[in-house]
Structure 1
Amino acid sequence: MDPLSDVLSLLRPRTAISAGLDAGGEWAIRFPAHDGIKFNAVMKGACWVSVDGETEPLRIEAGDSFLLTRGRPFHFATDMALPAIDSATIYDKAVDGVATCNGGGDFSLIGGRFSFEGDQAGLLFHALPAIVHVRDASNQAAVLRWALEQLAGELKQGSPGGALMADHLAQIMLLQVLRLWLASGKPSGWLGAMADPRLTRAIGAMHADAARRWKLADLAGLAGMSRTTFAERFREVVGQTPLDYLAGWRMRLAADRLHRSSDSIASIGFSVGYESEAAFSTAFRRLIGCTPMQHRRMLSA
């Protein structure tokens, strides 16, 4: 798989579709803190969105999609000066999956939340800003527009198998928004590297064979760059050296296997490139902050 697919597969996203919103007139709604990533797509109208801790509200309009990545309380409003009602006031009374504010008719939005079964959600969160905003996303990508239309229908119709259909549609939208974000030229960190085919080749190779004794020259060759140029470019975009990135990816794979398998510490270490249990345990403790056995015990407690 490609590196983005690798990461999302490791995180094992699960989707919970929340009610859509249908609002009319002037309004303001306050939402509480949340787990995971919130996904929203505006179907009609416009409003402002602000996230606690961020300095400026963001204007969102029909066709826009955005992710809220920090789990902080947030605020939707047609006018940020309006007093806000608590979201539970209308969402607890949602009918057929849609909450109504002020009679509806002027603004509509579809929302969902992605939680992550994997233990390394920070790998994705830390690579994203608090609000990932893709303007006019539904017109930029036919697959996203189709998924939005299908999801709107699933929320309204309540057809058999609708929950599973909505879950897969929402995951398609998460991936498509990330693709559009990558194409915008704004990402940094490992996500930013996905916009550079040369760095993507090197990261993809590390992901595909994490146990290999990679050398800087090997990775630079895959990227079609000199060692010096590759090392400088990788550090500039990703924020760490190629071999530091490899060590971190190995530990993420190992942490996942410690959680989801009964394999021995030594065999897990060998699978990610360490020839002895002692060497693996030392590297794991340096990067994760505890020994592999301690990590396994914490996750199973």
Structure 2
Amino acid sequence: MDPLSDLLWLLKLRSYVSGGFDAGGDFAVQFGQHDGIKFHAVAAGACWVSVEDTPGPLRIKAGECFLLPHGKAFRISSDPSITPVDVQSLLPPVADGRIVTHNGGGDFLSVGGYFTLSAGQADLLLGTLPSILHIHDTANSATLRWCVERMRRELADGLPGDFIVAQQLATLVLVEALRVHLSQTPAEQRTGWLSALADARLRAAVTAFHRAPGERWTLERLAGEAAMSRTAFALKFKEVVGMTPMSYLTRWRMLLAADRLTHSRQSLSQIGAALGYESEKSFSAAFKRIMHCSPRQYGRQNAGETADQSLERARM
């Protein structure tokens, strides 16, 4: 897999479509703080989005979406000056995940949902993202608009399997949103691990050690993968990613180790050897430094955790 797919898989990305919102006339709805990555995709009309502690509202039009990676409360409205109602007052007593109508509907329609990630190392992705991402298709791509329209149809038509289809489409929206975010962010403003994937030379190095994390990587070898000098590569990587190449490599290895401790029956020595460590002692020391507990403690704490338990922990 490529590095982004690797990370989303290790972080146990799961998508959930919570339903649609159909509004008519003037409206303003307040949403509280949330867990995971909240998203809204506008299928018809347009709205203003205001996020707490973020300057100015953003105008979101049909075929566009916005993502909120940091759990902040937000408001969607036809006019930012309108006093909002709480979204909880609009929901039916038993949420059915369908489309909620407000003010008779007909002027604005959005599809909403959220993504959960496993706790602990999600900042590898979330730490690279701003408080709100406003995403729209690039000039030569209609992927996002197609996904939004298809999600609307799945929720409205009530066909068998509609929520499974909508959830898969939501995952496509997230990946497309991250791609568009990278392509639309000026090079001088890109920071964090995700931004390394937008630089062809850094991406080559990141891809190389994702494909073979157990190799005996050195700074010289990674610089060679990037077709850069050792010094230039080290400086560029630290500038963009915010950590040294070897620090990132160690952290990635520990993410892999954490997954294997939870979901495999490999011994500590087997996991350490597969990830490039010559002894169980050196592997355990690196794991404790990054994960803040020993491998054995981590394995005991997370052994047998089900998908539902992971979701519940992510919501806490």
Shorter chain as denominator, the TM-score bin is over 0.9
Distance 1:18 1:138, change over 3 A: farther
The secondary structure found in structure 2 opposite 1:91 is coil
- Residue 78 of structure 1 deviates from its aligned partner by 2.2
CA distance in 1, matches of 2:37, 2:117: 9
2:169 maps to 1:178: no
Match of 2:309 in 1: none
Q: Is residue 46–residue 59 contact of structure 2 (8 Å, CA) maintained in 1?
A: yes
Identify the residue that residue 48 of structure 1 maps to in structure 2: 48
1:259 to 1:119, Cα distance in 2 relative to 1, 3 A: farther
Equivalence for 1:265: 268
1:191 aligned onto 2:194:
yes
Q: In 2, distance between residues paired with 1:85 and 1:46? A: 18
Give the letter aligned to residue 253 of structure 2.
R
Matches within 5 A, 1:52-91: 52-91=52-91
CA contact (8 A) 2:24 2:108 kept: yes
Deviation at 1:235, TM superposition (A): 0.9
Conserved in 2, the CA contact under 8 Å of 1:96 and 1:158? no
- Residue 45 of structure 1 and its aligned partner are, at CA, apart by 2.1
Structure 1 residue ranges without an equivalent (≥5): none
Aligned to 2:314: none
Task: Map Cα deviations across residues 207-261 of structure 1 (whole Å, 9 max, x no partner).
Answer: 1111111111111111111111111111111111111110111111111111212
1:84 maps to amino acid: P
**Residue of structure 1 in register with 2:12 after alignment:** 12
TM-score, scaled relative to structure 2: 0.89
Give the letter aligned to residue 242 of structure 1. P
Instruction: Give the CA deviation at 1:283.
Output: 0.8
Bigger Cα displacement from structure 2, 220-229 vs 31-40: 31-40
Per the alignment, in what secondary structure is the counterpart of residue 301 of structure 2? helix
> Could you tell me which residue of structure 2 aligns to residue 249 of structure 1?
252
1:262-283 per-position Cα deviation (integer Å, ceiling 9, x unaligned): 3212211112111111111111
**Distance change in 2, residues 1:265/1:53 (3 Å):** farther
Aligned length: 300
Residue 232 of structure 1 pairs with residue 249 of structure 2:
no
Aligned-pair identity in percent equals: 47
Deviation at 1:147, TM superposition (A): 1.8
In structure 2, distance between residues paired with 1:139 and 1:110: 23
**Per the alignment, in what secondary structure is the counterpart of residue 284 of structure 2?**
helix
Instruction: Tell me how far 1:137 sits from its aligned partner.
Output: 2.5
In structure 1, C-alpha distance between the alignment counterparts of 2:8 and 2:97, rounded to whole Å: 30
RMSD over equivalenced CA pairs, Å: 2.0
TM-score by length of 1: 0.93
* Cα distance in structure 1, aligned partners of 2:158 and 2:118: 26
Q: Residues 20 and 111 of structure 2 are in contact (CA less than 8 Å); yes or no, is this contact kept in structure 1? A: yes
In structure 2, the CA distance between the partners of 1:206 and 1:225, relative to structure 1 (3 Å rule), is same
Local SS of the residue matching 1:164: helix
Query: Which runs of 5 or more residues in structure 2 are unaligned?
Result: 306-316
